[in-house]
């Protein structure tokens, strides 16, 4: 199972903001920490704010911080919400000639859908807080000292 690039950026964002001592960070600071283009991080921050995972303060002293709800969110639930794809494979418009000729009696599509759900189910017991607390890589991130809040 491969995550969408957007889901990957969202996970990186919540992992950085969920790290102990991360505090409030700007989108630019997050982008630098996770090595992702700034515009991708801003889109992720907006979506995560909409989902209630992040609090965002605008302005000169603004930035994003993770909410308590965000810390308690299941990783599986978050990925289900972020992954907008309906199926693992696209059986429509397979090529210029139209839909896949096997679509009518194909069992693979249902099996792949079940496999995707099993993937998410394996992540359901993990919360964002748990993956942030147990990741040694996150504790090594060079958080900006000026922006850090308790």
Confidence at residue 47, expressed as pLDDT on a 0 to 100 scale: 96
Model's pTM, two decimal places?
A: 0.79
Q: How far apart are CA 89 and CA 144, in angstroms?
A: 41
DSSP string, 85-139: -S-SS--SS-BTTBS-TTGGG-SHHHHHHHHHHHHHHHHTT-BHHHHHHT-HHHH
pLDDT in tens, 54-111: 999 998 888 999 999 999 999 999 999 998 776 666 666 655 566 677 766 778 878 8
| N-term to C-term CA, the chain | 37
């Amino acid at each position: 199972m491969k995550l969408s690039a957007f889901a990957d950026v969202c996970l990186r964002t919540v992992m950085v903001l969920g790290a102990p001592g991360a505090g409030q960070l700007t989108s630019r600071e997050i982008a630098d920490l996770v090595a992702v283009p700034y515009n991708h991080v801003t889109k992720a921050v907006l979506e995560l704010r909409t989902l209630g995972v992040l609090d965002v303060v605008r302005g000169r002293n603004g930035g994003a911080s993770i909410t308590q709800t965000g810390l308690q969110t299941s990783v599986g639930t978050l990925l289900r919400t972020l992954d907008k794809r309906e199926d693992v494979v696209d059986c429509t418009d397979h090529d210029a000639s139209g839909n896949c000729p096997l679509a009518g009696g194909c069992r693979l599509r249902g099996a792949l859908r079940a496999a995707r759900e099993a993937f998410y189910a394996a992540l359901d017991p993990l919360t964002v807080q748990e993956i942030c607390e147990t990741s040694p890589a996150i504790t090594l991130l060079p958080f900006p000292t000026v922006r850090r809040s308790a």
